Amino acid sequence: MTAEEDLRLYAGARAFDASPLPSAAVFPANGEEVQKLVLWAKEAGVPLVPVSSAAPHRSPASAPSVPGAVIVDLSRMKKIHSINRRFCMAVIEPGVTYGELRPALAKEGLTINLPVAPRPGKSVIADLLEVTPRRNCLLNWNYIDPLRCTEVTWGDGQKMFTGEAGGGAPDLKKQQSQGKWQINGGGPMMLDFCRILAGSQGTTGIVTWASVKCEPIETVKKVFVLRSQDYDPVRRAVQNALKLRFSDGAFLVNGAALYRMLPDTAQLLAEADGGAAWTAVIEASGREILPEMRVAQQEEDLRGIAAAQGLVLTELTGALGETAGRELDGSGFAEGYAAGAVRLPFVTTLGKAGEFAEKLQATANQKDCGFGLGLYIQPLHQGVSAQVEVLVPELPEGESFYRTALAQIAADGGYYERPYGDAAKIQFGKDPEAARTLEKLYDIFDPARILNPGKLTKAAAAAGQGEEVQP
Amino acid sequence: MDMREDLYREFEAIVGPRNISRDKSVLETYRCMASQNSAHYGPYKVRTPFPMAVLLPGSSEEVQKIIRLCNREGIHFKASSTFWSAQGYVSADNAVQLDLRRMDGVEIDAENGIAIIEPYAIAGVIQAEAMKYGYTCNIQGVGGSSSTVASTAGWQGPGPSSLFTGTNYDNLLACEWVLPNGEILRTGSLGSGDGWFCGEGPGPSLRAILRGGVGTAGDMGVCTKMAVKLAPWPGPDHLASRGKAPAYKADLPDNFRCYTLCFPDWEHWAHGVQLLHENRITYTSHRQFNMFGCDIKGAMVKILSDENKQLCDLPELLEDPEVKAATQDMHCDMQIVLAGMSEADLAYKEAALDEILRISGGHRSQFMAEKEIEDWALLYFIRMGRKNLNYVLCGSYEGHFGLARTNYYLAASLVEEASALKKHWEETTPYLAKVGGNSSMGGLAGIGGGGGVSWEFFAHFDSFDDASVKGVAEYFGETNKWMGAKGLGGCMGKVNEGSRRPDGYDRSQEELNKMFQYAPQPGVFTYQWKVREAFNPNHLTGTYYKTLEPSAVRTDVEGAASIFI
């Protein structure tokens, strides 16, 4: 594909970051073709940008940062290689979207730990490689769960399997016929290949299949909310629940974010209680074994935890419950809940997230922005940390706020674990040793810097050489 | 090998005169039998090389200065904390041993459920500190007296509680690490000074070079501090116990229950594991007491849980009809602990366990439900403080087969065949203790939240007897062949054979190339070679970090060598 109007689909993902038009888009059908492309690009010095989801391509990782890039669009790769109910594992190609995977899993009695309101056209693998937080952080024993093994072509053109799959023959069917289901994503030896891919924004390798950990599907499910004008009681309730491993999904949102993510639910809630500054959405599920009893136990304990903070756990029932369930699962969002906004994610702890929220809101007020700043706080990794996602409207006054907030968050101790755009410059500027170490990894895995150059590589190179950072 | 005087003085200036020694009698204590896997398999008479000096650094900065000096002078180094195995000892003559025992800090971040720990903080101490705040930690299978940093950074890190708490691989947050080139890398949020809460990123996770599916066995430098994720502890602020040594018992409230679950066969057993993985009701889940051997485990439990009994009671107990029946009942067994976070939670977990047992055809052992035995086992699993019992039969043991990795159905279907192989060696040679063949044991979750088990067999032997040592080595040759023939990879008894020569010294790169040049996916080893070249250019650590020169990759004979994974 080379027509300009087609290529525009791949450019300009975010309003506040300019992105050049790619020179072409290619649609490989399998890992072998991807490997050939990478070897060609390495020889020719052509930048490649991997993309997997259906349009619109809103992820800042998937828009080129340099001119002349060729988009490697993996959306044709739609095979679901296997779904194994016994071990709760699926092996899928990058073109498989949430809209396709979820019904296929459901047929086998499985589901996957979802993010909040995933758009149906989003590639599951792209989402996992971006380390998009999952709603149920208690299933994240490992930070990058449920991503496990992969097939990858690195930037140097070498193709291999990672995780336990790297320890056997490079033949997926053969491995599965031997009873190996690509369950353990670590290593396989002392180098953790999967972690070199996850969070890399396509700068180290192109993944052509991945195994994902699944869960038995919920048979009983309830959605609850905790509402308060203050952040801390809601935060403490969620934190105490997570500490005891209660809930099957929990996150916090301010009013603007609730309206953006769950618009109908927000409307119905406001009609019922007049609105609240902060809402925690908490899910409780039962699967195959005594589902009703489990949900009843969770509800009883969650109710007690909420009451200890002076809050009331409210179950969303009837039409409200149905609406919330549908909206949480994202079926109503063709473009994702962040359409019309720029996402600014950073990681901190649940306690500190409230301080960030206050400061960011104050900055927005000072700038007289006149828009509702969305704040979505998602506990991570069984609750030891939390991602704060700031949703900034794509407005001129939004951009001014965005630039200020980027620097302010970093100065206050917010960690850009997934540093997009200028956040990468700031983060590596704060941590030049990480930049130097990353540069060494790029020398090994993408020595010619052909994979999505200008994303992390440029920022890392600049910071590693001690260049001054201008947020 | 003696160290130059001026150099010794330079090292002394870094750590201070009280924290360095070149006294031969001290250095002798920093040698280990040159075992290839764990601490307890010979050849006993061959020991790791003498270090030139032993140093006890007290901080990351001191470690960094030592490593920089080592790089300047081309001196090898190896750091260790609780010295569980030969991995922690030097493997060259011109080497210094770093003993990290002065770095033993433990700090609990109670609000976020994090422990920030130094290398000599042992798991039992971390747990004791965490319990004061309503938390516990994963205690690696090697036991509560071992270093959690060593397990996390240096080796694997699953344990009986890993289904619930996560393994040490899962729980690693930010860390501070002195690389072999002397640079200090602080991973994740720590690198930018933002705290210990996140070990990933920025962008790709740099922890990828510090540990993978297994740790780097001290070959990628020295981890000086790390944060680990904790798990809830719904008990008192300390682990109360009663009784006399060695039969201590837990004194815990009724929201803790310890059961031994028995199944009619291995297919049902595997189904039970699957349901426990899916429903995650257990606090710990392990197959433990079969490590003594399937014929004697009931009698051993009786001896070890009763302060008035001794090993000499074994013959009599083996004839006891009740013990015999219980041992038979427990042939396909596992031990679990349930912990109720609330009354309702415990009620649900008990009911769910009933349902799981109904579906999988299992039942609770009545023999193990006797109060004194249950409380003894409860303490065993929560503290993991009885690693000494691994040695109790013959003075030495070694793990082998490594039968179960992720497909526990497949592994379970092969247990009896593997047991028959071991039983044959027990009965036809004098090298191994005769315990009934089957001595399979291990955690029911090699991955946090389930998925895979970490299983091994124990071979009990006498490391002071040359014939026993040699015979076990031959036996492991057979188990390795058996594993290869079944397509299961190498036997874990052989897994580190490539890491040192039989004389205790490093392998050469040529030797490593020969081992891995036919690996089915050589990139696993060639990328490790490249990473080693980038971060350890002077090759100053050892050859536990498995490397293959890219130019040595061979593809002319497919599958010519088994891979050590």
Asked if pLDDT for residue A471 goes beyond 80, the answer is: no
C-alpha to C-alpha distance for B224 and B63, rounded to whole angstroms: 8
Asked if pLDDT for residue B489 goes beyond 50, the answer is: yes
- Helix-then-strand count for chain B, H and E: 17, 20
Q: What pLDDT score does B533 carry? A: 97
Q: Calculate what percentage of chain B has a pLDDT beyond 90.
A: 81
> In this complex, how many residue pairs, one in chain A and one in chain B, have their CB atoms less than 8 Å apart?
313
Gyration radius of chain B over CA positions: 23
Per-residue pLDDT tens digits for B370-391: 999 999 999 999 999 888 888 8
A8 or B216: which leads in pLDDT: B216
Q: What pLDDT score does B341 carry? A: 98
CB contact under 8 A, B527 and A191: yes
Asked if pLDDT for residue B560 goes beyond 50, the answer is: no
8 A C-beta contact, residue A60 and residue A14: yes
- Which of B348, B356, B488, B499 to mutate: most A Cβ within 10 Å? B348
Task: Tally the C-alpha atoms within 13 A of residue B394's C-alpha that lie toward its C-beta.
Answer: 25
Chain centre to alpha carbon of residue B106: 21
Average pLDDT over residues B315-320: 97
Q: What pLDDT score does B562 carry? A: 43
8 A C-beta contact, residue A457 and residue A442: yes
Q: What is the 3-state secondary structure (H, E, C) of B173-222?
A: EEEEEECCCCCEEECHHHCCCCCCCCCCCCCCCHHHHCECCCECCCCCCE
Length of chain B: 565
Asked if pLDDT for residue A376 goes beyond 90, the answer is: yes
- Which of A108, A110, A191, A406 to mutate: most B Cβ within 10 Å? A191
8 A C-beta contact, residue B369 and residue B259: yes
Contacts of A416 in chain B (CB under 8 A): 201-202
CB contact under 8 A, A186 and B451: no
Structural domains of chain B in order of their starting residue, each with its CATH number: 5-99 (3.30.43.10), 106-232 (3.30.465.10), 241-472 (3.40.462), 507-562 (no CATH)
- Tokens matching residue B278: 């899916």
Q: What pLDDT score does B40 carry? A: 53
CB contact under 8 A, A290 and B352: yes
Residue of A nearest to B487 (CA): A178
Per-residue pLDDT tens digits for B239-292: 999 999 889 999 999 999 999 999 999 999 999 999 999 999 999 999 999 999
Question: CB under 8 Å to B448, separation ≥6 — which residues?
Answer: A141, A142, B162, B163, B165, B166, B167, B170, B171
Q: What pLDDT score does B307 carry? A: 94
Q: What pLDDT score does A470 carry? A: 45
Per-residue pLDDT tens digits for A183-216: 999 999 999 999 999 999 999 999 999 999 999 9
B558 pLDDT tier (thresholds 50, 70, 90):
low
Contacts of B352 in chain A (CB under 8 A): 289-290, 293-294
Asked if pLDDT for residue B563 goes beyond 50, the answer is: no
Per-residue pLDDT tens digits for A238-268: 999 999 999 999 999 999 999 999 999 999 9
Nearest to A427 by CA among A441, A446, A445, A413: A413
**In B311-342, alpha helices (H):** 314-319, 321-329
Measure in Å the smallest separation between the Cα of B530 and chain A Cα atoms.
Answer: 7
Measure in Å the smallest separation between the Cα of B83 and chain A Cα atoms.
Answer: 20
Average pLDDT along chain A: 93
Whether the pTM exceeds 0.90: the reply is: yes
- Which of A220, A415, A425 to mutate: most B Cβ within 10 Å? A415
Q: What pLDDT score does B366 carry? A: 97
Question: CB under 8 Å to B533, separation ≥6 — which residues?
Answer: none
Per-residue pLDDT tens digits for B66-102: 999 999 999 999 999 999 888 899 999 999 999 999 9
Residue of A nearest to B231 (CA): A243
Per-residue pLDDT tens digits for B204-253: 999 999 999 999 999 999 999 999 999 999 999 999 999 998 899 999 99
Per-residue pLDDT tens digits for B160-189: 999 999 999 999 999 999 999 999 999 999
Asked if pLDDT for residue A55 goes beyond 80, the answer is: yes
8 A C-beta contact, residue A404 and residue A16: no
Q: What pLDDT score does B81 carry? A: 96
Q: What pLDDT score does B557 carry? A: 61
CB contact under 8 A, A188 and B448: no
Average pLDDT along chain B: 93
